[in-house]
Structure 1
Amino acid sequence: MAVIYPKFINLEAEKRERIINAALKEFAQKGYDKASTNEIIKEAGISKGSLFNYFNSKKELYLFLIDYMVEIVDKIYDEVDWNETDIFRRMKAIGLVKFKVYKKFPPVFIFLKALAHEEAAEVKPEINKLGKSLIAGGLERGYKNIDLTKFRDDIDVQKAINIINWAILGFAEQQRDAVDSFEDIGMEVLDEWDDYFDLMKRCFYKEEEQ
């Protein structure tokens, strides 16, 4: 994490998770400006004094949650087989890991969904910076060591990759906005994504590589 909160980090795991989940829920449901630290305290079953003993302000708590979310997202990339050099198989593998992580940490990704619509001036610059970082970092890692020789010789490979990027980001946004909770997402989403991959593969790959 960018900032260390030793008093909070040293709490027993169960209490720490209660506070994190209560805060994720409150900010996701009400947005930054309307979120109430009193509601977070009530939901987590702790005293107000103790919350502000761990975090100096509401903004500091919010920024901690962003750092926490980034750590969870990083777990996705830790589980990917980077020896796979086919771009579509690589993206499918990343999608499958994302699916598993979403299911394991649903409050984090409900918060991530809310971030996309957060407009509070106090935290908007940090959110914008995060969004650019997550997209750029994810794409950089996602395309590392990809075998570009599979692409057709008569197309601009970078433009093809741009189209794949737009499709992935657009599909993810569509699925994110279509559900109230990531717990509602089923394996059929991955099956639907396969259809798009098959279509793009026929467009961009040499015939023998399809």
Structure 2
Amino acid sequence: MPSESFTNLPEEKQHRIINAAMNVFIEDGFDKTSTNSIVKEAHISKGSLFHYFGTKKDLYLYIVDLSIEQTNELYDLIDLKERDFFKRIDNIVKVKYDYQNRYPLLNEFILASLREQSTEVAPTIQPIYAKITQDSLAITFENIDWSLFKPEIDQQKAMEIIQWTLDGLGKKLLATAAPMTDLSEEAIKEWKEYSKILRSSFYTSSN
């Protein structure tokens, strides 16, 4: 956990430090990441970084905790009574991009962490992420009305196509958005366009 001096910082500065750290960890991996690179990108002193977090490992695991918090909050807000898969995804997209506005690199950090091989952090984080991934997928598809899909549609492949679309949308928005842009509204707007196409492809004509 970070020190109280970090949590007392203005939110903008907290986000700048965390986003800088995520960027370096994504690029270099845990073992090769230099704290010099982090403090340079975050525009703080090395002494401040260690005062806030103690060690590089503490900083890394704090960001892992943020990703867990994001995932838990995201799936706590899913309305499991909504059985239309696309309407459920609408809700997921909104919450996801609210987080993405604060930490634009969080999803990339999660993916990088899943590939992390460092013996210092991998044994701690990989079982956590494995369980979160399994739980989140189960919740996403829980109580879905599969009768809405065309009978000839392979459900697994349909889910993969939808996930690839969401991933691609995220990368597109991050690559083209101006600094400090609120991605939530744009993400929802674009997702609705994609979902119309996907819905017409996967659902029966009556839906």
The question of whether the paired residues in 2 share the 8 Å contact of 1:80 and 1:97 is answered with no
Alpha-carbon distance between aligned partners in 1 of 2:21 and 2:87, rounded to the nearest angstrom: 36
2:96 corresponding residue in structure 1: 98
Q: Deviations over 1:106-160 (max 9, x none)?
A: 1x33354456568886478479937666554433221111110111123333332
Q: How does 1:12-161 map to 2 (within 5 A)?
A: 13-15=7-9, 20-21=14-15, 23-31=17-25, 33-36=33-36, 39=39, 43=44, 50-51=51-52, 55=54, 57-103=55-101, 106=102, 108-113=103-108, 116=111, 122=118, 125=122, 129=126, 135-161=133-159
Q: Deviations over 1:29-71 (max 9, x none)?
A: 44451333993897389757744xx53x212221122112321
The question of whether the paired residues in 2 share the 8 Å contact of 1:28 and 1:110 is answered with yes
Alpha-carbon distance between aligned partners in 2 of 1:157 and 1:48, rounded to the nearest angstrom: 47
Shift of 1:78: 2.1
2:195 corresponding residue in structure 1: 197
Relative distance call for 1:153 and 1:98 in structure 2 (3 A) is same
Relative distance call for 1:177 and 1:126 in structure 2 (3 A) is farther
Relative distance call for 1:35 and 1:133 in structure 2 (3 A) is farther
- TM-score, normalization by structure 2: 0.70
Relative distance call for 1:157 and 1:179 in structure 2 (3 A) is same
Shift of 1:86: 0.2
Give the aligned length. Answer: 197
Alpha-carbon distance between aligned partners in 2 of 1:36 and 1:114, rounded to the nearest angstrom: 19
The question of whether the paired residues in 2 share the 8 Å contact of 1:109 and 1:182 is answered with no
Relative distance call for 1:47 and 1:34 in structure 2 (3 A) is closer
1:171 corresponding residue in structure 2: 169
Relative distance call for 1:193 and 1:13 in structure 2 (3 A) is same
- TM-score, normalization by structure 1: 0.69
Runs of 5+ consecutive residues of structure 2 not aligned to the other structure: none
Alpha-carbon distance between aligned partners in 1 of 2:38 and 2:160, rounded to the nearest angstrom: 45
The question of whether the paired residues in 1 share the 8 Å contact of 2:22 and 2:105 is answered with yes
Relative distance call for 1:116 and 1:176 in structure 2 (3 A) is farther
Alpha-carbon distance between aligned partners in 2 of 1:44 and 1:19, rounded to the nearest angstrom: 13
Q: CA RMSD in A?
A: 3.9
Moved more, 196-205 or 159-168: 159-168
Secondary structure in structure 1 of the residue aligned to 2:79 = coil
Runs of 5+ consecutive residues of structure 1 not aligned to the other structure: none
